[in-house]
Amino acid sequence: MNGKLLALSLLLLGAYCSANGQSASNDSSLLLNPVIVRAYQHERALLEVPASVSVITESDFERFNNASLLPVINAVPGVRMEERSPGSYRLSVRGSTLRSPFGLRNVKVYWNGLPFTDPGGNTYINLLDFGSLQAAEIIKGPGGSLYGAGTGGVLLMQSEAPVEDDGSALLFSATVGSFGSLRYTGEARTNQEGIDLAVRYAHQHSDGWREQTAMGRDAIQILGTFRPSTSRTVDLNVVYSDLTYETPGGLTEAEFKANPRQARPSAGPNPGAVEQHAAVFNKTFYSGVSHHYRWNSRWSNSIGVYGSFSQFDNSAIRNYERRRELSIGGRTNTSFAFRGGKLDFGAEFQHGFSSIGVYDNNQGQSGAIQNDDEIVSSAAFVFSQIEFFLPHDFFLTAGGSVNLVDVRYQRLSDVPPFSRHRDFDPVFSPRIALLKKISDNISVHASVSKGFSPPTVAELYPSTSTFNDQINPEEGTNYELGVRGRLLNNSLMFDIVGYDFRLDETIVVRRTDDDADYFVNAGKTTQRGMEVALSWQSLTMGTKVSITPWLSYTLNRYRFSEYIQDVNDYSGNKLTGVAPNILVGGITADLGRSWLINVNCTYTDRIPLNDANSAFADPYTLLGARVEYRFRAGNNFPLQVFAGAENILDETYSLGHDLNAFGNRFYNPAPPLTIFAGVKGSLNFSPRQQ
């Protein structure tokens, strides 16, 4: 690998060798037993969960700059988040980037137990202020047994109203940084008489490092938990977000090396990004209500409904698109606990309507209409899962879902209008998993699951504005074997998993000469990999200093096993957009309960940029650090002051490539050395303290 990792390796080794072997417990995100996993309805300690699940806690978010979810997500093995420009995110779990020229696809996202992914398969994760998240769980691999269609994985995000002693609090934060970045938040909380309520406002702005990369977002969030009785709970989740971000476009390698700050220039008949004022404008309102009821010690039920409305405008280089998207949905789950096991069953339904107008783009203003279309999408599934707690510390889980997906398209601007309909056949997605606790500190697990992923609406109706009903769903089978636990007097935590995923009808992205994307099926792929997460906990220099080195490693051996396009045979080529090796590590030092120091380093191997494997992005190493000082300005006024830097090595790299780009415009350059500083605090009003 890159020689720049030598310093990181020595840092980790030195911190470990200097440890005196005593176990520290001040960072609960690193302990296996106290972390209760909600994925697959287990509600058990991670050590007893037979699945590849990574848990992110609030303390993990504090290791990095809280202006973005990206660095904390990228510390998870097997998961990669990219930022093609500020505000434009892309998330992949085990190589699903190939289907996502932008946004999130083939990764199902839930927020507080309700679907945040829309019925068409798209997720506007950039609408949320990431500082409002308290926890997240990432399921890697097909999660269809409980979460419906999809082969890429599941992201469960959690933003909870606080449950504390009766009282109220005002919270605030502010962060400034390089390239005109500014973020500030304000929040009011109250906890009394069975009501937990939080109202939060967050503003974020950046001028951007490249041309045409400014972004701004204002978000208002309301979270409430109401307890009318000891057996009943009602949760309220509301967010309104007004997001704008400019899109600079991809560069060729020559342009990338000559001037990485430039936006995509004009070329031939195609204008440039600056000339067309390329940008995205998204105003979305989302509201959900969930009801949880426990009849007795065995039976319980949760049911929730949501609705969302988005005004989405995209001033692109080739056209100007206006979308008006309305979606509704709901999910219910009933649990029955019996002696020696647990049964879960339920259903989920989503329905969406999109009105899409495509116009000429006259330098950032919509011109003559090109197309006027409507798309109606529906997705529904029923699921069931049973768990058996067997003798000798065996845990057996078996589940499955039956999925129904339907998309209807109508073009209104043609004379006469015409319509098309794509109704996918019902598919059963099963999963079976077995876990054995070797001891109180070590367990092994194995699972077999089948994934089914129909094309999303964005793939059926890509930016070519042509409905393509010839794309087939992806289907595949995943085999996993993992071991997790604690060693060396509980000071070494480890989580290791290997998998073999065979996928048929893999969906890949292609681009036209004017930068429009479209999608095709690429035959079969073989995706084998290993994911390793290690963390050491130790105490040095007495009892007041805690040193925690951590490390994650991702090994990807992904290949096109059968892929012939026209006269080109790509069989055996590396899967586009997937780095073979990714290593992330760091050290968290808690000094005397006042100073918190985090240092992290990421190595990313070279990435194939097209299916032909004729172009690769160079490997790169990123170094970051964050220092925080915590103190009290009064009994009820805790404060945190922090500062940090990203890309300390000043690497020139691209964080998010345009795969299979026409004219080899693959590169979206990321910022150089970036610094930030801020303050975070709260003013508490508790009756017990007055």
pLDDT of residue 324: 96
Q: What would the mean pLDDT of 62-71 be, rounded to a whole number?
A: 82
Structure tokens at 440: 């109180």
- For the purposes of burial, counting CB atoms within 10 Å of the CB of 589, is it exposed (0-12), middle (13-18) or buried (19 or more)? middle
Q: Residue 8 above 50 pLDDT?
A: no
Q: What would the mean pLDDT of 238-266 be, rounded to a whole number?
A: 95
CATH architecture of 5-689: Beta Barrel (2.40)
Amino acid symbol at 94: R
pLDDT of residue 104: 77
pLDDT of residue 323: 94
Using the Cα atoms of residue 483, residue 486, residue 487 and residue 493 in order, give the sign of their dihedral. Answer: positive
Q: What would the mean pLDDT of 242-250 be, rounded to a whole number?
A: 95
Q: Cα–Cα distance between 484 and 123 in angstroms, integer? A: 31
Report yes or no: 50 and 434 within 8 Å, Cβ to Cβ. Answer: yes
pLDDT of residue 15: 37
Of residues 106 and 596, the one with the higher pLDDT is 596
Collapsed DSSP state (helix, strand, coil) of residue 22: coil
pLDDT of residue 28: 35
Q: Residue 690 above 60 pLDDT?
A: no
- Radius of gyration for the chain, computed over Cα atoms and rounded to the nearest angstrom: 25
Per-residue pLDDT tens over the stretch 109-141: 999 999 999 998 889 988 988 888 888 999 998
The residues, any chain, with a CB within 8 Å of residue 574's CB and separated by 6 or more, are 558, 559, 560, 580, 608, 613
Amino acid symbol at 654: S
Structure tokens at 43: 């509600």
pLDDT of residue 675: 96
**CA torsion, ordered 20, 24, 29, 35, to nearest 10 deg:** 120
Q: Cα–Cα distance between 143 and 238 in angstroms, integer? A: 26
Q: Cα–Cα distance between 559 and 578 in angstroms, integer? A: 10
Q: Residue 487 above 60 pLDDT?
A: yes
Per-residue pLDDT tens over the stretch 385-422: 999 999 999 999 999 999 999 999 999 998 888 999 98
pLDDT of residue 659: 87
Per-residue pLDDT tens over the stretch 319-335: 999 999 999 999 999 99
Q: What percent of the chain has a predicted confidence (pLDDT) above 90?
A: 60
pLDDT of residue 145: 86
Distances (CA, A) of 473 to 150, 294, 506, 520, 524: 10, 39, 8, 11, 12
Partners of residue 631 on adjacent β-strands: 639
Q: Cα–Cα distance between 55 and 51 in angstroms, integer? A: 12
**CA torsion, ordered 511, 150, 476, 525, to nearest 10 deg:** 30
Q: Residue 21 above 80 pLDDT?
A: no
Q: What would the mean pLDDT of 226-246 be, rounded to a whole number?
A: 94
Q: Cα–Cα distance between 439 and 37 in angstroms, integer? A: 19
Q: Residue 464 above 90 pLDDT?
A: no
pLDDT of residue 391: 94
pLDDT of residue 687: 54
Q: How does DSSP classify residue 270? A: B
Q: How confident is the model at residue 490 (pLDDT cuts 50, 70, 90)?
A: confident
What are the two backbone dihedrals, phi and then psi, of residue 151, each rounded to the nearest 5 degrees?
-115, -10
Q: How confident is the model at residue 537 (pLDDT cuts 50, 70, 90)?
A: confident
pLDDT of residue 399: 94
Q: Cα–Cα distance between 75 and 26 in angstroms, integer? A: 20
Q: How confident is the model at residue 166 (pLDDT cuts 50, 70, 90)?
A: low
- For the purposes of burial, counting CB atoms within 10 Å of the CB of 297, is it exposed (0-12), middle (13-18) or buried (19 or more)? exposed
Enumerate the domain spans of the chain: 5-689
Collapsed DSSP state (helix, strand, coil) of residue 345: strand
Q: What angle do CA 604, 517, 670 make, to 5 degrees?
A: 30
pLDDT of residue 469: 83
The residues, any chain, with a CB within 8 Å of residue 318's CB and separated by 6 or more, are 270, 361, 463, 514, 515, 516
3-state helix, strand, coil in the chain (%, to 5): 10, 55, 35
Distances (CA, A) of 643 to 172, 545, 680: 16, 20, 11
Q: Cα–Cα distance between 65 and 58 in angstroms, integer? A: 13
Q: How confident is the model at residue 24 (pLDDT cuts 50, 70, 90)?
A: very low
Q: Residue 14 above 60 pLDDT?
A: no
Q: Which of the residue ranges 6-10, 485-489, 556-560 would you say has the lowest mean pLDDT?
A: 6-10
Residue with tokens 């380093």: 601
Q: How does DSSP classify residue 98? A: G
pLDDT of residue 165: 59
Q: How confident is the model at residue 96 (pLDDT cuts 50, 70, 90)?
A: low
